[in-house]
Amino acid sequence: MKLDFHQNHKLLYGTIFTGFVILSLIIAVFPAMWVQERNEPLPDSRALTELEQKGLNVYVSEGCMYCHTQQVRPIDMDAVWGRPSAPGDYARIGRQDVWRQTPAVLGSARTGPDLSNVGNRQPSEVWHYMHLFNPRSVVGESVMPSYPWLFEVKDDAGPDDTVITIPGDYAPKQGTVVATEKAEALVAYLLSLKQVKLESGETADAR
Amino acid sequence: MDQASTKKPSAVLSPQRPLTVEKARAGERIAASRHSTQLVYSYVAFSAFWLVVGTLAGQYLGLKFVWPEIDSLSWLSFGRLRPVHTNVVFWGFASLGMIALALYVVPRTSRRELYSYKLGWVSLWLMNGSVVLGTLLLMAGINNGGQEYREFIWPAMGLFALGLMVSAYNLYKTIARRDVREIYISNWYILAAFLWTIVLAAIAYLPGYQDDGISQTVVQGYYMHQGVGMWFTPMVLGLTYYFLPKLLNKPIYSYSLGVLAFWTQMLFYTMIGAHHFVFSPIPWWLQTVAIVFSVGMLVPVTAGTGNFLLTMRGSWGTIARSYSLPFILTGVIFYALVSYQGTLEAFRSLNKIWHFTNFTVAHSHLSMYGFVSFLIWGGVYGLIPRLTGKEPPQFSVGVHFWLALVGLLLYGVALMIGGTMQGLSWIAGEAFIESVNLMIPYWVWRAIGGTMMFMSHLIFAYNVWKMRPDRLKETEAYNI
């Protein structure tokens, strides 16, 4: 059999296939294994509570990461969002379930603000509820979508309900706005996003 | 109109300067089997359908930037509809369009019938099933962790991967049984794209090595880049290595340049995924490797476009008289421009300004649309009339071309300028909301350009309908 790419289809496609597999192992699979093995949660961090984990699932389900990053870069322009993100910040994130992989919380676009440290920057629960019900009720120029399906409008709110007071123009004509469990979970997750201290001497770079 | 122009000849439009010039007709019809024509046409028809669906979603998303209160339905919300747009145009429109053409080109250049028409249909239904299921799940809020272009959860993407494997086997068997000694360069690119994408899908979805947030990001960079670079790019390049010389009726300028571009594409492109995460907490060396190989991409891109443009040299008249070749010329030019732009975006100094901004959105549309989609349309208009013997109205092909091109330029230029302004606003340390406010006029222009693009797709769908084979009508009547 001729060893000629132009005439030997087994050789040609065999090389194409194995070559790509080898390159992919070198550039993606092995580095991923390597970082996964070494990545440790930061000492001051804690695992998400059950409610916060549910909130992360709502965050993913609604596609929040298409407009919000959770990734502070080690450059001056990002200092406003907090300290530079470190691998340890993402060590506790994992697969959601057997159907869904680890969420891409780092994000790729900053149509809205970075959320790495939003729990410290905006610690008010009430603000987050109002903002999710209608972002323009708290930030007039916002282009973020409203999430009314995370809320219920009830005529009579019960004693256990989380009632949200919405300013005039944005409030429903009748009834009171009550947060669903999903809204409570999402707000709990957002408030959990607080950067913790890096150990002294540790840099933002991967070890 | 005629009378008016005799009275007062217009400087712009007159019988001597008509609005449209008649283009060359498709000429000889290709003798292809009924099976082949029906299969290829069905892929094209579904491709056109998904184009309309996917860009209707895209068009609607564009409006939401300037009109965030346009609806308040969860299934139509931005975060759910955005992956619908990208996945439908990727796996529905572009993939089916490319495979349609490949199902013709591979057998033709192998001088064999397709190995199995049945497998061709199986693959089509698997892929359609994948897009339908994946889209419904996305709209219901079930996605694979918001990982760009792998938002379909594995059962949905699994159907697509299965379709890829069936088609790859089908095409491999066709090539293995070829009636010519040499494997034509188109078939290097086309079958390689299938093999690479099967590997890619497996690596993207297998568990075990991408379970924390950083390893997930390493694989995501690899995947989102190769999804474009090892599937769409080699497929449309392979198809162009067939359609360009065929439609110009002359050989490709340099065969070996095509081979050089092929191997450098595989070597360099595979290494550059991490340039989507420059300055991120993934290993710094991985980012640097990606940036270095991004510069290496100048080799295959220059070899590829140079080869195509040198093939076109001296045949500009033929291109002007054709209604399919202008699409191919546009696609080739965008291939070069957008690839050079991608290299620039990878440099840390420029990445700082453009990363996270709307500049990225411009870049992805210039590549998937200006490059990939235009080459698909060029192939469809070049092939289908010769296959079915039915030509689309030349006027509506012209309208498709100009609406798509002008729409894309408005879209791309607006977001490139707006994106740069966003980046500069952040660097200047202005309040974040300023970077939202300053985008409003650019988002309006994007919506205008996007509307033109969407209208051109309706016209494309109409043209596909006009090119339908007669035999299809007969079979339908027979079935009833």
Q: Do residue A110 and residue B357 have CB atoms under 8 angstroms apart? A: yes
pLDDT value at residue B10? 63
**What gap in Å lies between CA B411 and CA B416, rounded to an integer?**
9
Complex confidence, ipTM: 0.94
The number of distinct structural domains making up chain A is: 2
pLDDT value at residue B478? 40
Res B17 pLDDT > 90: no
Residues in B closer than 8 angstroms to A151, CB to CB, are: none
Q: Choose among B327, B340, B359, B328: nearest CA to B423.
A: B359
Return the domain boundaries, chain B: 31-468
Residue with tokens 């490319």: B98
A44 occurs within a structural domain: no
Q: Phi/psi of residue A176, each to 5°?
A: -115, 150
Q: How far is A105 from chain B (nearest CA, A)?
A: 8
Residue of chain B with shortest Cα separation from A100: B144
pLDDT value at residue A203? 47
Residue of chain B with shortest Cα separation from A170: B69
Written as one letter, the residue type at B417 is I
pLDDT value at residue A200? 56
pLDDT value at residue B9? 58
A202 occurs within a structural domain: no
pLDDT value at residue B228? 87
Q: Which domain holds residue A124?
A: 50-192
Same domain, A16 and A79: no
Residues in B closer than 8 angstroms to A71, CB to CB, are: 280-281
Same domain, A146 and A170: yes
Do B273 and B305 form a contact (C-beta atoms < 8 A)?
A: no
**What gap in Å lies between CA B332 and CA B375, rounded to an integer?**
8
Q: In this predicted structure, which of A74-88, B54-68, B338-352, B458-472 has the lowest mean pLDDT? A: B458-472
pLDDT value at residue B7? 56
Task: Give the count of beta carbons closer than 10 Å to the beta carbon of residue B214.
Answer: 29
Same domain, A130 and A54: yes
**What gap in Å lies between CA B309 and CA B329, rounded to an integer?**
8
- Helix (H) / strand (E) element for A177: namely strand A176-179
Residues in A closer than 8 angstroms to B209, CB to CB, are: 29, 32-33, 36
Q: Do residue A90 and residue B360 have CB atoms under 8 angstroms apart? A: no
Same domain, A103 and A34: no
% of chain B surpassing 90 pLDDT: 90
Same domain, A61 and A27: no
Half-sphere exposure of B170 (CA within 13 A, CB side): 23
pLDDT value at residue B480? 32
Same domain, A59 and A30: no
- The total number of residues shown for chain B amounts to 480
Same domain, A113 and A171: yes
Kindly report, residue by residue over B122-157, the tens digit of the pLDDT: 999 999 999 999 999 999 999 999 999 999 999 999
Same domain, A150 and A61: yes
Q: Provide long-range contacts, Cβ within 8 A and 24+ apart, for B149-152.
A: B149/B86, B149/B87, B149/B90, B149/B223, B149/B224, B149/B227, B150/A101, B150/B204, B150/B205, B150/B220, B150/B223, B150/B224, B150/B227, B151/B83, B151/B86, B151/B87, B152/B87, B152/B91
A119 occurs within a structural domain: yes
Rounded average pLDDT over B235-239: 98
Rounded average pLDDT over B370-383: 98
**Average per-residue pLDDT in chain A?**
93
Rounded average pLDDT over A108-113: 97
pLDDT value at residue B24? 86
Q: If one looks up domain B31-468 in CATH, what number appears?
A: 1.20.210.10
Same domain, A34 and A96: no
Buried-exposed string A14-45: b where 16+ CB fall within 10 A, e elsewhere: eebbebbbebbeebbbebbbbbbeebebbeeb
Res B474 pLDDT > 90: no
Half-sphere exposure of B289 (CA within 13 A, CB side): 21
* Tokens read off for B300: 């295959």
Residue with tokens 């994130």: A93
Q: Do residue A105 and residue B276 have CB atoms under 8 angstroms apart? A: no
Same domain, A100 and A146: yes
